């Protein structure tokens, strides 16, 4: 191919490609979470479930930014989702470490009228948000790993928005 043919071929905008990458990374994050749950038995607490919704929102915003050629606006939307998700994940880590009070969503599984109902509630209770699911015992929990991942994605998205290559 000639240089002229290469220069006239349509190509994706870099911001649009960034939206696609963020959507793919969000899908990978969700796949990893479901693998941990269904493959390895790490059942999510209420805050973990909310964090999954954040990754679902990131996937949708990134995909919309890519498909409808709104790369720059898509990146800004992805950054807004990631800032909120990072805040939620920071709160989750804080609950695990005792910095913040346990969320009302994570407390109590209901009221029991008798011993059989209490036993049923205790057997079927979801994991508590203040008890970390450790990846490396007493070093790194899943919530801490998720916080690091969301902060990394937030920093990369902010760099894409600020960078001159993504201004188109």
Token couple for 140: 């790194």
- Which residue would you say has higher pLDDT here, 103 or 97? 97
Position 69 scores a pLDDT of: 79
Higher per-residue confidence, 68 vs 6: 68
**pLDDT class of 127 with cuts at 50, 70, 90:** confident
Cβ pair 43, 127 in contact under 8 A: yes
Average pLDDT over residues 30-53: 92
pLDDT of residue 80: 97
Mean pLDDT, residues 55-64: 97
Average pLDDT for 94-121: 71
Give 91's contacts (C-beta < 8 A, 6+ positions apart).
47, 100, 103
pLDDT of 75 reads 93
Q: How far apart are CA 25 and CA 126, in angstroms?
A: 27
pTM for the model: 0.81
The predicted pLDDT at position 8 comes to 42
Q: Contacts from 51-57 at CB under 8 Å and sequence distance 24+?
A: 51/85, 51/88, 51/89, 51/92, 51/146, 54/81, 54/84, 54/85, 54/88, 54/150, 55/26, 55/29, 55/30, 55/85, 56/26, 56/30, 57/81, 57/85
Question: Is 58 a residue whose pLDDT tops 50?
Answer: yes
The pLDDT of residue 19 is above 60:
yes
pLDDT of residue 10: 40
- The span from the CA of 126 to the CA of 141, in Å, is 17
Model confidence at 131, in pLDDT bands (50, 70, 90)?
Answer: confident
Domains of the chain: 13-166 (1.20.1550.10)
């Amino acid at each position: 191919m000639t240089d002229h043919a290469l220069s006239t071929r349509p190509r994706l905008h870099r911001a649009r490609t960034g939206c696609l990458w963020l959507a793919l990374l969000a899908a990978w994050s969700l796949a990893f979470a479901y693998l941990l749950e269904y493959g390895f038995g790490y059942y999510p607490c209420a805050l973990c479930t909310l964090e999954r919704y954040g990754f679902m929102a990131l996937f949708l915003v990134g995909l919309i930014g890519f498909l409808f050629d709104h790369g720059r606006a898509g990146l800004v939307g992805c950054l807004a989702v990631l800032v909120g998700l990072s805040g939620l994940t920071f709160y989750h880590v804080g609950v695990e470490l005792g910095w913040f009070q346990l969320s009302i969503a994570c407390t109590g599984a209901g009221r029991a009228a008798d011993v059989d109902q209490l036993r049923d509630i205790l057997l079927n209770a979801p994991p508590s948000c203040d008890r970390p699911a450790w990846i490396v015992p007493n070093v790194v929990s899943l919530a801490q790993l998720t916080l690091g991942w969301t902060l990394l994605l937030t920093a990369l998205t902010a760099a894409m928005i600020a960078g001159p290559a993504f201004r188109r």
